[in-house]
Amino acid sequence: MKTLKIFGLLSLMIMLLTACKKDESTQNDELILGTWINTLINDQPVLTDDTFVMELKADKTEMYAVGFQLDENNFRWEENNTYTYTINDDVIAINGKDVLGKSYYMEFQIVLLDATTLKYTVPVFKIDGKSFPDNNTYTCSKVTVDLSNQFTGVWYGRSTTPGTADTAFHFWEYFADGNYNYYYQDESGNWIKKSDNEGRYFLYGDFFASNYSNDLISGGTGQAFECWNIYTDGNTMSWTGLRANNLVTSYEMEKVAAPPITQTK
């Protein structure tokens, strides 16, 4: 009889532990859904241009977006929807190929997951079957706002970064389909709509990435991208970005009715 009681207690404990694991796994399945923006690595702020974004969807596919170096002179922000994922208790396993065709397999060990925060380590990270150690801890914030309606339209403003070489005013015209126009003023005061600006942008809540080409300030050539954290308040908007050497860059602008009358170059 004593043996039966012990066996019954053990069985009950196993059932309770199994139920708890199932509850935890189900909860993680639900909490993980949505768009996540990397904000910290090892509890330190990430340079804004080094941020990545991932969207984990209910159909077990993942969108991953990050700035890629395509070759020596060209960099682009790219979204990639070729990844799939599974989640088992507190481990997220991700498979897929990046925009350059390299195969990735990753396992994320969840440290913290709630309605707004995902924190994880990466015990397994493989590219084309080769393992690469990753001893970092990543913290991501879930996108909880939609600023697309406020963001679209025409904005007029300039850089407010102390000591910047970019002291001129500019116009940006953002469309709902993710395209944009950029306008600058030449030496004669004529407004120019830049025809080769690679005018594509990506908006994830209050995080914004923009592709462009031929930097007018640096004189560089090729494709490039920039990322910004944005804040909108009615008809005003600000951008901030953490760059190398802890330099914080910024822009301030206001929404206007229409772009200027322009020439095109």
Residue recorded with tokens 């481990």: 91
Instruction: Tell me the pLDDT of the chain (265 aa) as tens digits.
Output: 444 444 444 444 444 445 444 455 578 999 999 999 999 999 999 999 999 999 999 999 999 999 999 888 899 999 999 999 999 999 999 999 998 899 999 999 999 999 999 999 999 999 999 999 999 999 999 999 999 999 999 999 999 999 998 899 999 999 999 999 999 998 899 999 988 777 799 999 999 999 998 666 556 678 999 999 999 999 999 999 999 999 999 999 999 999 997 766 5
**pLDDT number for residue 101:** 94
d(CA 182, CA 199): 8
- Residue-wise pLDDT for 78-118, tens only, equals 999 999 999 999 999 999 999 889 999 999 999 999 999 99
Residue 29 CB partners (closer than 8 Å, separation 6+): 87
Please give, one letter per residue, the 3-state secondary structure of 218-258.
Answer: CCCCCEEEEEEEEEEECCEEEEEEECHHHCEEEEEEEEECC
3-state helix, strand, coil in the chain (%, to 5): 15, 50, 35
Looking up tokens 């000591």, which residue turns up?
163
Give pLDDT, residue 55.
98
Which tokens hold the place of 152?
């679209």
- Burial category of 64 from C-beta neighbours within 10 Å (exposed 0-12, middle 13-18, buried 19 and up): buried
Predicted local distance difference test score (pLDDT) of residue 47: 98
Go through the chain and tell me how many residues it has: 265
Two tokens at 111? 């440290």
Q: What domains lie within the chain, and their CATH numbers?
A: 29-142 (2.40.128.20), 148-264 (2.40.128.20)
Which residues neighbour 71 within 8 Å (Cβ) at sequence distance 6 or greater? none
Measured CA to CA, the distance from residue 244 to residue 261 in angstroms comes to: 37
- The b/e string for 181-194 (b: 16+ C-beta within 10 A; e otherwise) is bbbbeeeeeebbbb
pTM above 0.95, yes or no: no
For residue 264, give the 3-state DSSP assignment: strand
Question: In the block, which residue shows the tokens 């397999």?
Answer: 105
CB-CB contact of 174 with 180 (8 Å): yes
